[in-house]
Chain A
Amino acid sequence: MGRYLPLIFKNSWRNRRRTMLTVLSIGASLCLLGVLFAIYRAFYFQEASPEQARRLVTRNRISLAVPMPIFYRERIKQIPGVQEVMAYQWFQGVYKDSRDPKNFFARFATEPEKLFVVRGEIQVPEEQKRAFIAERTACAIGRPLAEKHNLKLGDRITLTGDIFPVTLELTVRAIWDAPDNDEVLYFHWKYLEEGLPAGRQGEIGTFSILAESPGVVNQIADKVDAMFRNATVQTRTETEQAFGLSFLAFLGNVKAFLLSICAAVTFTILLVSANTMAMSVRERIREVGIMKTLGFTPGSILGIILGEAVAISLLGGALGCLLAAGLCAVIRNGPVAFPQVRNLSLEPPVVLLALAVAALVGLISSAIPALGAARTSILDATRDMG
Chain B
Amino acid sequence: MALPFAYNWRNLVVRRTTTAMTALGIALTVAVLLAVVALVEGLHRAFEATGNPLHVLVMRKGSESELSSNFTREMYQDLKFKPGIARAASGDPKASLEMVTVVSLARIDSPEGMNVTLRGLSPTGVEMREGLTLLRGRWFETGRREVVVGASIAERFPDAEIGKKIHLGQSDWDVVGVMEAGRGVANSEIFADLNQLSADYNRVEVLSSCLIEATDEVAVQALINDLNNDRRLNVNARTEREYYETQKASGAPIQYIGTLVAVIMAIGSSFAAMNTMYAAVARRAREIGTLRVLGFSRGSILLSFLIESLLLSALGGLVGCLLILSLNGMTTGIGNFVTFSEIAFNFHLGPKGIGSGILFSLIMGAVGGLAPALMAARKEILTALRET
Is the CB of A267 closer than 8 A to any CB of chain B? Answer: yes
Residue in A28, A92, A249 whose beta carbon sits within 8 Å of that of B265 in the complex: A28
A-B contact count (CB 8 A): 133
Pair A261/B261 contact, Cβ less than 8 Å? yes
Pair B335/A25 contact, Cβ less than 8 Å? no
Q: With A65-B101, A250-B342 in contact, do A276 and B275 touch (Cβ < 8 Å)?
A: yes
The distance from the CB of A20 to the nearest CB of chain B, in whole angstroms, is 9
How many Å lie between the Cα of A107 and that of B206 in the bound state? 25
Main secondary structure of the interface of B (DSSP, over half): helix
The distance from the CB of B376 to the nearest CB of chain A, in whole angstroms, is 14
Which one of A148-156, A159-167, A294-302 contacts B?
Answer: A159-167
B29 to A, closest residue via Cβ? A268
Pair A265/B335 contact, Cβ less than 8 Å? no
A63 to B, closest residue via Cβ? B102
Residue in B24, B104, B276 whose beta carbon sits within 8 Å of that of A61 in the complex: B104
Q: 0/1 per residue, B54-72, Cβ < 8 Å to A?
A: 0000001011100110100
Instruction: Determine the chain B residues whose CB is within 8 A of the CB of A65 once the complex forms.
Output: 67, 101-102, 115, 340
Pair B115/A250 contact, Cβ less than 8 Å? yes
Pair B268/A272 contact, Cβ less than 8 Å? yes
Is the CB of A102 closer than 8 A to any CB of chain B? Answer: no
Pair A62/B268 contact, Cβ less than 8 Å? no
Q: 0/1 per residue, B303-343, Cβ < 8 Å to A?
A: 00000000000000000000000000000111100001010
Instruction: Determine the chain A residues whose CB is within 8 A of the CB of B342 once the complex forms.
Output: 250
How many Å lie between the Cα of A169 and that of B128 in the bound state? 41
Pair A28/B267 contact, Cβ less than 8 Å? yes
Is the CB of B21 closer than 8 A to any CB of chain A? Answer: yes
Main secondary structure of the interface of A (DSSP, over half): helix
Is the CB of A264 closer than 8 A to any CB of chain B? Answer: yes
The distance from the CB of A5 to the nearest CB of chain B, in whole angstroms, is 25
B15 to A, closest residue via Cβ? A279
Among B206, B261, B278, B332, the one with the most A-chain Cβ atoms within 10 Å of its Cβ is B261
Is the CB of A45 closer than 8 A to any CB of chain B? Answer: no
How many Å lie between the Cα of A371 and that of B169 in the bound state? 68
Pair B62/A268 contact, Cβ less than 8 Å? no
Pair A268/B265 contact, Cβ less than 8 Å? yes
How many Å lie between the Cα of A269 and that of B272 in the bound state? 9
Is the CB of B186 closer than 8 A to any CB of chain A? Answer: no
Q: With A26-B268, A257-B254 in contact, do A271 and B21 touch (Cβ < 8 Å)?
A: yes
Pair B170/A232 contact, Cβ less than 8 Å? yes
How many Å lie between the Cα of A163 and that of B261 in the bound state? 36
Residue in B32, B115, B272 whose beta carbon sits within 8 Å of that of A25 in the complex: B272
Is the CB of A29 closer than 8 A to any CB of chain B? Answer: yes
Instruction: Determine the chain A residues whose CB is within 8 A of the CB of B274 once the complex forms.
Output: 21
A163 to B, closest residue via Cβ? B68
Instruction: Determine the chain A residues whose CB is within 8 A of the CB of B332 once the complex forms.
Output: 252-253
CB-CB contacts below 8 Å: B3-52 with A: 17-18, 21-22, 24-25, 28-29, 31-32
Is the CB of A208 closer than 8 A to any CB of chain B? Answer: no
Q: In the complex, how many residues of chain A place their beta carbon closer than 8 angstroms to a beta carbon of chain B? A: 51
Pair A29/B254 contact, Cβ less than 8 Å? no
Q: 0/1 per residue, B70-81, Cβ < 8 Å to A?
A: 100000000000
Is the CB of A274 closer than 8 A to any CB of chain B? Answer: yes
Is the CB of A337 closer than 8 A to any CB of chain B? Answer: yes
Is the CB of B130 closer than 8 A to any CB of chain A? Answer: no
Instruction: Determine the chain B residues whose CB is within 8 A of the CB of A28 once the complex forms.
Output: 264-265, 267-268, 271
Pair A162/B25 contact, Cβ less than 8 Å? no
Among B21, B110, B170, B332, the one with the most A-chain Cβ atoms within 10 Å of its Cβ is B21
Is the CB of B253 closer than 8 A to any CB of chain A? Answer: yes
Instruction: Determine the chain A residues whose CB is within 8 A of the CB of B31 once the complex forms.
Output: 264
Instruction: Determine the chain B residues whose CB is within 8 A of the CB of A268 once the complex forms.
Output: 25, 28-29, 265, 268-269
Instruction: Determine the chain A residues whose CB is within 8 A of the CB of B170 once the complex forms.
Output: 232
Pair A25/B18 contact, Cβ less than 8 Å? no
The distance from the CB of B352 to the nearest CB of chain A, in whole angstroms, is 22
The distance from the CB of B86 to the nearest CB of chain A, in whole angstroms, is 29
Q: 0/1 per residue, A245-270, Cβ < 8 Å to B?
A: 01001111100010001001101110
CB-CB contacts below 8 Å: A131-170 with B: 160-163, 165
How many Å lie between the Cα of A32 and that of B261 in the bound state? 7
Instruction: Determine the chain A residues whose CB is within 8 A of the CB of B222 once the complex forms.
Output: none
Pair A264/B28 contact, Cβ less than 8 Å? yes
Instruction: Determine the chain B residues whose CB is within 8 A of the CB of A25 once the complex forms.
Output: 268-269, 271-272, 275
Pair B28/A32 contact, Cβ less than 8 Å? no
Seed contacts A62-B103, A268-B265, A271-B21; 19 additional CB < 8 Å A-B pairs: A18-B279, A21-B274, A21-B275, A25-B269, A25-B271, A62-B102, A63-B103, A65-B67, A65-B115, A66-B102, A94-B62, A162-B64, A165-B70, A252-B335, A271-B24, A272-B271, A272-B275, A276-B275, A386-B388
The 8 closest A-B pairs by CB, nearest first: A25-B271, A28-B268, A250-B335, A163-B68, A272-B272, A29-B268, A21-B275, A271-B25
Task: List, sorted by A's number, 26 A–B pairs whose CB atoms are closer than 8 Å.
Answer: A21-B274, A25-B268, A25-B269, A25-B271, A25-B275, A28-B268, A31-B264, A32-B268, A36-B261, A62-B104, A63-B115, A163-B63, A199-B206, A251-B254, A252-B254, A264-B265, A268-B265, A269-B268, A271-B21, A271-B272, A272-B269, A272-B272, A275-B272, A275-B276, A278-B17, A279-B279
Show the binding face of A for B, using Cβ within 8 Å: 17-18, 21-22, 24-29, 31-32, 36, 61-66, 92, 94, 98, 160-163, 165, 199, 232, 246, 249-253, 257, 261, 264-265, 267-269, 271-272, 274-276, 278-279, 337, 386
